A and B are shown apart, each in its own frame.
Chain A
Amino acid sequence: MTIRFDLPSVLTIYSVTEARHALLSWLARQDLNQTKSIEISAKNVEEIDGAGLQLLGSLAQTLIDTGLSWEISQLRAPIVEACARVGLDKFLRCAVQSEISP
């Protein structure tokens, strides 16, 4: 089973605390033993700053720890550019690939 979380439209210093809380709550509700893969959808994300990118990095660290397959999908081009600018594109490689793939 693949579980999915939709990121909010704004991931900036003003919203990262709320987004972290939502992510932690969502993860706590999941039965990861029954989960095959995790999809974090970024289709709604329109605005991101350094704090938002850092939260994605933190999320990636957490997801790696689950040992499950995961991806941050449907990233828009400006967000991908921002990831590349700070050198997080490889770490979040799933996101870049998902953006390029049709």
Chain B
Amino acid sequence: MSDNTSAADQKFIDEVLPVFISEAREQIEAIEHLLLELEENSGDKELLDALFRCAHTVKGSAGIFGLDKVVAFTHHVETILDRLRDGGLTLTPSLSTLLLQCNDQILHLVDSASNDVADISENIATRDHLIAQLHAAMGDVGIDASKPIIETAAVPETPAPSSQQWLISVRFGPDCFRNGTDPLAALHYLECFGNVTVISCAHELIPKLDLIDPESCYLCFEMRFNTTALRQEIETAFSFFEDNCELRLVEPTSPIEHYISLLNAMPDRPYLGEILVEIGAISQQQLDDALRIQRHAQSAPGTPPPMIGEVLQHQVGLAAEVVAAALQKQGKRDSAVPADEQRYIRVQADRLDEVINLLGELVTAGAGAALMASQTRNRNLSEVHQHMGRLIEGVRNGTLQLRMVPIGETFNRFRRVVRDTAATLGKEVALEIVGGDAEMDKSVVEKIADPLMHLVRNGLNHGLQTPAERLAAGKPAQGNLILSARHESGGILIRIQDDGRGIDRDRVLKRAWERGLVEAGEVPADAEILKLIFAPGFSTAETITNLSGRGVGMDVVSKNIAALRGTVTVHSEFGSGTTIDIRLPLTLAIIDGFLIAVGDSKFIIPLESVIEVIAGQRAQDVLDERGRHCLELRGAVLPVVSLRRLYGLDSKPPARVSVIVLGAGATQFGIEVDTLLGQHQTVIKPLGHLFKALRGISGSSILGNGEVALIFDVNSLCELAATDLISKTSRNSPLASSLSRTASV
């Protein structure tokens, strides 16, 4: 960071720097994504423009914070991107690799923005080397990479022949200084985009000493500014002043044709004003003013509202030709609004978490209030509580929706991993991403990233073969790796699929015998053999690489997924490929549950897993050795598990029971319960240590009357129902004794 920052600047920087770092990371991520996309669509003008904009944004924002190293290095990247954009250079695979390496360095510089010490000499040497490579790629010779580049970046550049002279008039508001902003800093930053050739300060507006309030700002400037930058870029220099400054930008030399050519080049947009702001024909302030005038005119009775284009022509003096061209652009727009036009606000994650926690308490308290209301038998009070319950449910759904993010953001990170890993291994791999727009809770997305990374690397290292091996096996040289996500049964299914060599069950079994994971000579069922790859310390890799093969990852992957209340299953056909399915809940906080009772014990089933309920069944006395019996359901046999037997609950079974049919993936099974208590908004509380080992249960919830209900993990319950562990689970189960207790809230 520059040394010449004042104490006030430093305070401001300390406050806002984390926001810059967060936003810069997003831009850097976008650069990587765009570069990888361009490898498949080289020469795509829109992608190149977007790429340039991202680098320019990082550089510009870093300039505000005096992050000279980021500005200097990104400047070189930006220069080459500009050459790519104007067709002076072509993006070759080697140049793409170079730019990706540069992007890694930008990320490193941004990450070490708050700690300069973190930038070790090795990185400085790497950047010098990359700068030299960038210049070599542009055909420059004799560039001294060790020379501090900040001079060229920070000093106003010589205006290109196409630069235009703007007239800028800016009047800063009285609270500028008090808000911690300084017009001097804005003018300094403005020089990043061009040259201020003439500037005059309206000193007559500054009161004399006896009248001035020195902490109020009276500064007002008129200047001529030579630049190639667009209006928006110039406006960014004043963005920190927002409503506390009147900014007028006049581009006296801009020809109408210039705007029309910009209009032709830009993608279609829904709003006329937005189009005109984007091409720099008007400022956002001018648009806001015009919209205000339009609204005011609309409110006048008996007069048709003026069109925004007309208002802009009258108020701003915008040429009619430019308005007409923009209208044409607006008319061409498809009915679908592109995703990038959605507007966002940035909210700190911990603030959102706090709201979710409070909401959880509200749901519990609401349930308690509703219960008490029903006990009073006061109809009006009950109705009010029912209405409040519906409102709480609405708030709950809306709030949880705020935490939902598309899984595609995580998937896109793997493009680079697949590209670089495949290159290291000498493999050709095409990565396909399907269903990246499927949304799930942010915390789940963050926690699943590492397990996914491991599985993708594993697939690349062990699953997919080299081109020669593939050709010998009669497959195309290029292997396929498909990452997909889709909603399924109220949860999300993430699938990692490759068409590689598949898992050799014989080798897995042999290794399991060697490691003592399975008794020597014993041959479990196929599905059980595949599950062995998740056993701790298991690896069939003959060689250990830095990618995988140490056998310390898959068990951790399995544990991490289980910690998210998810399951992982493997399907593989030797010689054809492997598919790994990860099923995860959409959210970790609150679910819609179905409350049931067995004896005095209450349980909650995630509502999305409930397929149907068969009421009034006669209780079955004859159970098999697994505590199950069967029902015939529309011609199919349905295994039904007795929860009383499964968990060893001491209570007398009623004469009539209900069977709830549950779905776990493709499998259906039933559970036998005494009483159906209906739908219940369930705030999930983690299980205590005592119950961590309890299979088939994923969490607990406190009911309105203070009772504790355990929440079923349906997938795990399904597994439990299908194995021979029932009697073991029942024995020594702490459940039976603990469930009858009533929790104090």
Chain A residues in the interface with B (C-beta under 8 A): 12-14, 16-17, 19-20, 23-24, 27, 47, 49-51, 53-55, 57-62, 65, 82, 85-88, 91
Contact = CB atoms under 8 A, between A and B. Distances in A.
Contact of B215 (A13, A23, A57, A88): A13
Contacts of A59: 209
A88 B221 CA distance: 10
Contacts of B214: 16-17, 19-20, 51, 54-55, 58
B219 interface: yes
Interface string B202-219: 011011111010110111
Main SS of the interface on chain A?
helix
A62 B183 contact: no
Contacts of B217: 50-51, 54
A58 B199 contact: no
A17 B183 contact: no
Nearest to B209: A62
A14 to B, nearest CB: 7
B223 interface: yes
Contacts of A87: 199-201, 221, 223
A54 B206 contact: yes
B199 A54 contact: no
Interface size classification for chain B: 20 to 34
B187 A20 contact: no
Given A51-B215, A86-B219, A24 B203 contact: no
Contacts of B209: 20, 23-24, 27, 58-59, 61-62
B177 A51 contact: yes
B8 interface: yes
18 contacts: A13-B177, A19-B214, A20-B209, A49-B6, A50-B183, A51-B214, A54-B214, A57-B203, A58-B208, A58-B209, A59-B209, A61-B203, A61-B206, A85-B188, A86-B184, A86-B187, A87-B200, A88-B203
A16 B209 CA distance: 11
A58 B206 contact: yes
A87 B182 CA distance: 15
Interface in B200-255: 200-201, 203-204, 206-210, 212, 214-215, 217-219, 221, 223
A85 B215 contact: no
Nearest to B191: A85
B203 A12 contact: no
A27 B209 CA distance: 10
Nearest to B198: A87
B201 A57 contact: yes
A27 B185 CA distance: 31
> Residue among A12, A50, A55 with the most chain B CB within 10 A?
A50
Given A27-B209, A61-B208, A47 B215 contact: no
Contacts of A55: 212, 214
Nearest to B181: A50
Given A87-B201, A88-B201, A49 B8 contact: yes
A91 B208 CA distance: 14
Contacts of A51: 177, 182, 214-215, 217
A17 B209 CA distance: 10
Contacts of A61: 203-204, 206-209
